[in-house]
Amino acid sequence: MLNGPSQPPPNFINSNSKVIPAWRQDGYKSKFENDEIKRLYSQYFFKQKMEMVLQLLIVLAINAFILVILYFAHEKEWPRLLILVLVFFFICIGMLFHLCKTRTHSMRSLEVISVGIWLLQVGLLFALLGITPPEHRTPADHTALVVFITFVTYTMLPLSLLPTVTLGIFLALIHGLLFTLFSSKVKDHMTRQMVSNVLVYLCSNLCGLYHHHLSEIAHRRTFLETRGYVKNQLELGKQKEQQESLLRSVLPDYIAKEMLKDILTNNEQPHKRMNLQFHRIYIKKHDAVSIIFADIVGFTKMASLCTAGELVKILNTLFGRFDALAARNKCMRIKILGDCYYCVSGLPDPSTDHAICTVLMAFDMITCIKEVRDNTRVNVNMRVGINTGTVLCGVLGLRKWQYDVWSDSVTIANHMESGGVSGRVHISAATKSYLPTDVLLEPGKGEERDKYLREQNITTYLVINPEDNPNQNETLLKYRKKIAEERAQQASEMSQPMPEDSSSEEHGQTNGVIKNKPNGKSKAINSGRSSTASEIDDEMTVHQFVGKWESVTPFAAGPQDTTSSDKPAGGQTSMVMLQVGLFPMHASIAGKKGRNKVLNQQLGLEQEVNDHMRKTIEDGRSEKLWQKSEHIHRITLRFKSEAMERDFQRLPDSMFKYYLACAFLVFLFIGAIQLIILPRETITIVSLLSAMILLLMAVVIAMASPNFCDCLRYLSNTVADSYRVRIALAVFTTLVVYTVAFIQLISCKREDSSSANVHQKPRHPDDETCHYPMYFFVSGTLAMLCSAVFLKLDHIIKDVLMLVAVTAYIILMHIPYSDIFDSFDDHLLFPNTSVPSDSHTIKIEKQKILKLKEFGTVYLLMLFIALIVLGYEVERTARMDFMQGRHAAQKKDQMEDFKTNNGILLRNLLPGHVAEHFMGCGKIGLYHDEYANVGVMFASIPNFFAEFYAETDVNNNGIECMRVLNEIIADFDELLEKYKFNCIEKIKTIGATYMVAAGLTPQAVYDGTDTDLKSHLQSLCEFAYAMQDAVKRFNKHSFNNFQLRMGINHGPLVAGVIGATKPQYDIWGNTVNVASRMESTGKVGRIQITEETCQIVEQFGFKFDEPHMVQVKGKGQMKARFLAEERK
- Annotated active-site positions, please? 1077, 1113
Read off the DSSP letter of residue 601: H
- Which residue spans within 274-313 are E strands per DSSP? 282-297
Residue 269, Cβ density class (10 Å: 0-12 exposed, 13-18 middle, ≥19 buried): exposed
Q: How far is residue 463's CA from residue 30's CA, in Å, rounded to a whole number?
A: 76
The residues near 521 (Cβ < 8 Å, ≥ 6 apart) are none
Determine the residue type at 1019.
S
Q: How far is residue 992's CA from residue 1084's CA, in Å, rounded to a whole number?
A: 14
Read off the DSSP letter of residue 526: B
Nearest Cα neighbor of 347 from 1095, 1062, 1004 is 1062
Give the DSSP H or E segment for 1025.
helix 1013-1038
The helix-helix angle for 35-73 and 143-156 (nearest 10°) equals 150
Q: How far is residue 808's CA from residue 197's CA, in Å, rounded to a whole number?
A: 24
Determine the residue type at 390.
T
The residues near 80 (Cβ < 8 Å, ≥ 6 apart) are 131
State CA 9 to chain mean position distance: 16
End-to-end CA distance of the chain: 69
Q: How far is residue 638's CA from residue 228's CA, in Å, rounded to a whole number?
A: 25
Q: How far is residue 753's CA from residue 770's CA, in Å, rounded to a whole number?
A: 13
> Rounded to whole angstroms, what are the CA distances from 411 to 346, 453, 798?
17, 10, 81
Whether 335 and 406 have beta carbons less than 8 Å apart is answered as no
SS3 661: helix
Torsion, CA 227, CA 230, CA 232, CA 234, rounded to 10 = -140
Rg of the chain (C-alpha set): 44
Q: How far is residue 724's CA from residue 38's CA, in Å, rounded to a whole number?
A: 38
Helical residues (DSSP H) of 748-793, grouped into ranges: 774-789
The residues near 519 (Cβ < 8 Å, ≥ 6 apart) are 537
Do the strands 523-524 and 513-516 form a parallel or antiparallel pair, or are they unpaired? antiparallel
Whether 380 and 297 have beta carbons less than 8 Å apart is answered as yes
Whether 808 and 873 have beta carbons less than 8 Å apart is answered as no
Q: How far is residue 704's CA from residue 216's CA, in Å, rounded to a whole number?
A: 26
SS3 639: strand
Read off the DSSP letter of residue 584: -
**DSSP sequence for 329-371:** TTEEEEEEETTEEEEEES-SS--TTHHHHHHHHHHHHHHHHHH
Whether 192 and 680 have beta carbons less than 8 Å apart is answered as no
Residue 802: other Cβ atoms inside 10 A: 24
Q: How far is residue 732's CA from residue 373's CA, in Å, rounded to a whole number?
A: 94
> Rounded to whole angstroms, what are the CA distances from 714 to 371, 478, 704, 721?
84, 89, 9, 10
Strand partners, 282: 395
